Structure 1
Amino acid sequence: FFLGQYQRAIEFHQQHGDIAREIGDRGGEAKSLGSLGNAYQSLGQYQRAIEFHQQSLDIKREIGDRGGEAKSLGNLGNAYQSLGQYQRAIEFHQQHGDIAREIGDRGGEAKSLGSLGNAYQSLGQYQRAIEFHQQSLDIKREIGDRGGEAKSLGSLGIAYARLKQYGKAINLQEKSLAIKCELGDRHGEAQSLQSLAQLYQACGRVKEGFAAGQAATLIFQELNLPLEAWTLPRWIKSFVKFAQQGKWQLVICFVAGFFAFPFLLTLLLTLTLWRFTFGRFRR
């Protein structure tokens, strides 16, 4: 799953579920269904993901697994958020948080607050999003969740960027990057560098933006992850998939990027296209 090989992950999760059903392990069956939901969500098949998460939730409620129930509610919230149904997503995240507080799961509570922040950010309510991300950050610092702290700092950075408070956004993203480097989270490091590349560009710091964007691309190349696992906007992934169809498609994508987007985004797009297409043409 973390290598972006979602179809292979699905095969293993299905085998997990088959054995769990065979031996009557309802908890294991629920877990496999939740994992299938996450895999299908990563493939962009959100309705199918919702079906699996709902089945997982039903079993967890049946066997009285309150912690698992909270997790499934959070997963459903994420799936509905991906569909753009933000109010429904908020309802699920609130239920997740309520159960987490009830059972004393501080990590789950922090996660639900962060998810609420993401949902309100998608609704354009950036100040409210900041409040939730800050609460999530406070809990993560309290429980010593360094990886979660880095994630919350990055989310706060994105929210402040939407408010065009670029100085504050850059400061938060740099703090997030420092923690990810400390933890050896190379994938997360690349994500932070991508965010910083866009922020530097927005501030007119073109050279720093170029360096951050190039560093992010090099890390993704180093990790050798498939395109689906790259944390790139969907429009770039669509460009890449189109460019992979042939040389003329590659030329069209480059020209479109050159005329439609600022210099830095054109560069990042070109580097991405190079990574996924040039090798096959050279061969």
Structure 2
Amino acid sequence: MTWHNTFYRKKAWLTLGFFFIIFLSSYGQTKVVGDSLELLFTQGAYQEQDKLKILKELAVTHSDVEKRLLYSELLIQSAAALDSTDYLFQGYLEKGTSLRVKGDLANSLESYFEGARIAEKEGNNNLLGKVYIAIADVYSIMGNHQNAVKYHQNAIRILRQENDSISIASALLNAGDELINVNRLDSALKYTTEAEIIFNLLDSKVGQAYSLGNLGMIYAKLGLDLKAEYHMNQAILILQDLHEYYPIAVYLTYISDIYLEKGEEKLAMNYAKLSLDLAQKHGMKKQVSDAYLTLSKIYEHMGNSEEAFNNYKNHIAYKDSVNNITSVQQMADLRTDFEVSKKQIEVDLLNQQKRTQQIIVIATAIALILICLLAFGLYRRYLYIRKTKRIIEKERNRSDELLLNILPKETANELKLNGKVAAKKFESVTVLFSDFKAFTQYAENLSPELLVERVDHYFSHFDQIMERYGLEKIKTIGDAYMCAGGLPFPSHDHSIRMVRAAMEMAQFVEDTKKKNQSHQFEVRIGIHTGPVVAGVVGTKKFAYDIWGDTVNIAARMESSSEPGKINISENTYQLIKEEFECEYRGEVEARNKGMMKMYYVLATKKSADPVSN
């Protein structure tokens, strides 16, 4: 297996988060400062106005991830108590980062999303762009590359508007990093090259190092080994000065793979051993495991099966310790068995060749078993992820259906896309109000359950009528029912459709009264046409509503109507007079509106054209 085939396995452990780049270059200095700040904080030797600043520095710079998590939570509590939005955002940001490092990805995302809500509420695009990068990194670790790419691209779009060079460069680098995961190498090369240019202009050493290293990995994927080797060597030189050893160990392993691909086993061996020594010195178990695997491939390539087997077993042992797998003890038993076999080989020289062949067979069998176990585990994980995705998709569809029951489709789509809905003015909208005569006295004689059942019987049928005529139900208030035509999509015949719907409503109430003596409701209906403003109100429970004098006049038309009648204004009459026979009532006093011309709708004219629903 060539080194290109192991690219994704190693690559996933080198994903670079935005905040790691921002703070890494000053970590050597801030660690000492952080230790001093912790001493000041625990002793209470600080001014009260400096408390939030100290907690923020500790949450960022402390070397212990558990302490960073503790200080970020204290920062959230203190910032909330002092109503400090900036520090509250920083608290959620650092809490998310600490949880990500600990591997608690679900709670990490929750914390980052809380930070994003704060940034959106404050209208701070710079902070929003930064937290989007952090969210994208978590999605990348989870293997959700589609969401990771989306959030990276949103971060780049936002940060370009803010002219924050270091943030833009970090977003570009991370986006390029994620595009490698989905094998979009041209885009990855473009983003990473732009990030390198910005880091060079800013003289950011750590940014330059990771840009060079990532370019090396892209060139390696493209099969350009010389370019890959050159860029990774340049990255290693910079990282040595920064004392950042984990990425150095990763890049050394890559270079070893390149030389092995070329057939230069000695150079490959040297680089692999350098990576192993560095990883062991600094306790980096994952990279120790990868280094042993690389050495195993080198020895296998050289024909030394015994050493290949030894290094492969070490690779498995370290790999299992990283993943907390209980088979570490089993591998120790295997190692003991091999030593016993080795001593037996030394004793029985005459059977050396036979014993060696047996060991190779055993090693091959063990490798096959481990590969089968790994394949089985990956398959179970695939089934779990697929099941989880189906559940999430089902819940997403359910949420969309609930949202469409509350808001018009166009408005719901705008809310999902932008997180808010802009208010819109409509120049011509027909508004209908209806209520039931003497509802209060009638309700006093019914149980609450029966009252709700009766009202629901009518309103459910009204909803069906609105849907049939392409009208929009706005809301119900007690026994009042309110709807509108001509929004969210303007139309030329909304007033005609509204009057026809009103006639069906009145007829339904009358038919119900005749069929069932227990249903004695009588409906009054009022209609007016004019301009309104429409929009969504609320942040927890959304409601689509309309405002304007047109709404008030429609309500007056209803209150001035009579049971079983449809009372319309002069504006509405002028729009529907060719379609319906109407009775002029004269000018009628309307509360707070003075004298207004009103008409009763009597019937549809026989020559009227049908209205499209």
The TM-score normalised by the length of structure 2 is 0.37
Are residues 1:167 and 2:266 paired?
Answer: yes
Q: In 2 relative to 1, CA 3–104 (structure 1 residues): closer, same or farther, beyond 3 Å?
A: same
Question: Counterparts of 2:249 and 2:196 in 1: how far apart (Å)?
Answer: 20
Q: Which one of 43, 54, 57 corresponds to residue 153 of structure 2?
A: 54
Question: Counterparts of 1:115 and 1:30 in 2: how far apart (Å)?
Answer: 22
Q: Structure 1 residues 209-218 or 117-126, which shifts more?
A: 209-218
The TM-score normalised by the length of structure 1 is 0.75
Structure whose residues are more often helix by fraction: 1
Q: Which one of 266, 269, 272 corresponds to residue 368 of structure 2?
A: 266
| Contact kept in structure 2, 1:209 and 1:264, CA below 8 Å | no
Determine the structure 2 residue equivalent to 1:39: 138
Determine the structure 2 residue equivalent to 1:121: 220
**CA offsets, 1:25-81, max 9 Å, x none?**
544322321122122223333232111001112232222221111111111112222
Cα deviation for residue 5 of structure 1 reads 5.0
**What percentage of residue pairs aligned between the two structures are identical?**
21
Q: Which one of 113, 117, 120 corresponds to residue 18 of structure 1?
A: 117
Question: Counterparts of 2:317 and 2:141 in 1: how far apart (Å)?
Answer: 23
After superposition, residues 142-157 of structure 1 pair within 5 angstroms as 142-157=241-256
**CA offsets, 1:129-165, max 9 Å, x none?**
1111111122222333333322221221122222232
Question: Counterparts of 1:168 and 1:40 in 2: how far apart (Å)?
Answer: 37
**CA offsets, 1:184-227, max 9 Å, x none?**
1122222222222222222222222222222222223223359x
Are residues 1:195 and 2:294 paired?
Answer: yes
Q: In 2 relative to 1, CA 28–187 (structure 1 residues): closer, same or farther, beyond 3 Å?
A: farther
| Contact kept in structure 2, 1:221 and 1:275, CA below 8 Å | no
Q: Which has more radius of gyration?
A: 2
Cα deviation for residue 14 of structure 1 reads 2.1
Q: In 2 relative to 1, CA 54–168 (structure 1 residues): closer, same or farther, beyond 3 Å?
A: same
Determine the structure 2 residue equivalent to 1:215: 314
Q: What SS is found at the alignment partner of 1:53? A: helix
Cα deviation for residue 97 of structure 1 reads 0.5
Q: What SS is found at the alignment partner of 2:216? A: helix
Q: What SS is found at the alignment partner of 1:93? A: helix
Question: Counterparts of 2:102 and 2:309 in 1: how far apart (Å)?
Answer: 27
Q: In 2 relative to 1, CA 211–59 (structure 1 residues): closer, same or farther, beyond 3 Å?
A: same
Question: Counterparts of 2:137 and 2:304 in 1: how far apart (Å)?
Answer: 38
Residue identity matched to 2:115: H
Cα deviation for residue 168 of structure 1 reads 1.3
Count of residues in Structure 1 that have an aligned counterpart in Structure 2: 243
Question: Counterparts of 1:209 and 1:193 in 2: how far apart (Å)?
Answer: 9
Q: In 2 relative to 1, CA 86–61 (structure 1 residues): closer, same or farther, beyond 3 Å?
A: same
Question: Counterparts of 1:213 and 1:4 in 2: how far apart (Å)?
Answer: 27
Cα deviation for residue 273 of structure 1 reads 6.3
RMSD: 2.8
Determine the structure 1 residue equivalent to 2:63: none
Q: Which one of 93, 103, 108 corresponds to residue 192 of structure 2?
A: 93
Question: Counterparts of 2:117 and 2:261 in 1: how far apart (Å)?
Answer: 45
Cα deviation for residue 176 of structure 1 reads 0.9
Q: Which one of 176, 191, 201 corresponds to residue 102 of structure 1?
A: 201
Question: Counterparts of 1:101 and 1:74 in 2: how far apart (Å)?
Answer: 13
**CA offsets, 1:96-123, max 9 Å, x none?**
1100000010111111111111111111
Question: Counterparts of 1:267 and 1:14 in 2: how far apart (Å)?
Answer: 42
Q: Structure 1 residues 100-109 or 59-68, which shifts more?
A: 59-68
Q: Which one of 164, 187, 205 corresponds to residue 304 of structure 2?
A: 205
Residue identity matched to 1:40: Y
Which consecutive residues of structure 2, in runs of 5 or more, have no partner in the other structure? 1-99, 326-363, 380-613
Q: Structure 1 residues 6-15 or 61-70, which shifts more?
A: 6-15
Cα deviation for residue 270 of structure 1 reads 4.9
Q: In 2 relative to 1, CA 58–208 (structure 1 residues): closer, same or farther, beyond 3 Å?
A: same
Question: Counterparts of 2:282 and 2:221 in 1: how far apart (Å)?
Answer: 29
Q: In 2 relative to 1, CA 175–271 (structure 1 residues): closer, same or farther, beyond 3 Å?
A: farther
- Looking at both structures, which has the greater relative contact order when contacts are Cα pairs under 8 Å and sequence separation is at least 6? 1
After superposition, residues 225-236 of structure 1 pair within 5 angstroms as none
Question: Counterparts of 1:91 and 1:263 in 2: how far apart (Å)?
Answer: 45
Determine the structure 2 residue equivalent to 1:30: 129
Determine the structure 1 residue equivalent to 2:180: 81
Question: Counterparts of 2:268 and 2:104 in 1: how far apart (Å)?
Answer: 33
Q: Which one of 77, 83, 108 corresponds to residue 9 of structure 1?
A: 108
**CA offsets, 1:246-279, max 9 Å, x none?**
xxxxxxxxxxxxxxxx6675254256469899xx
Determine the structure 2 residue equivalent to 1:244: none
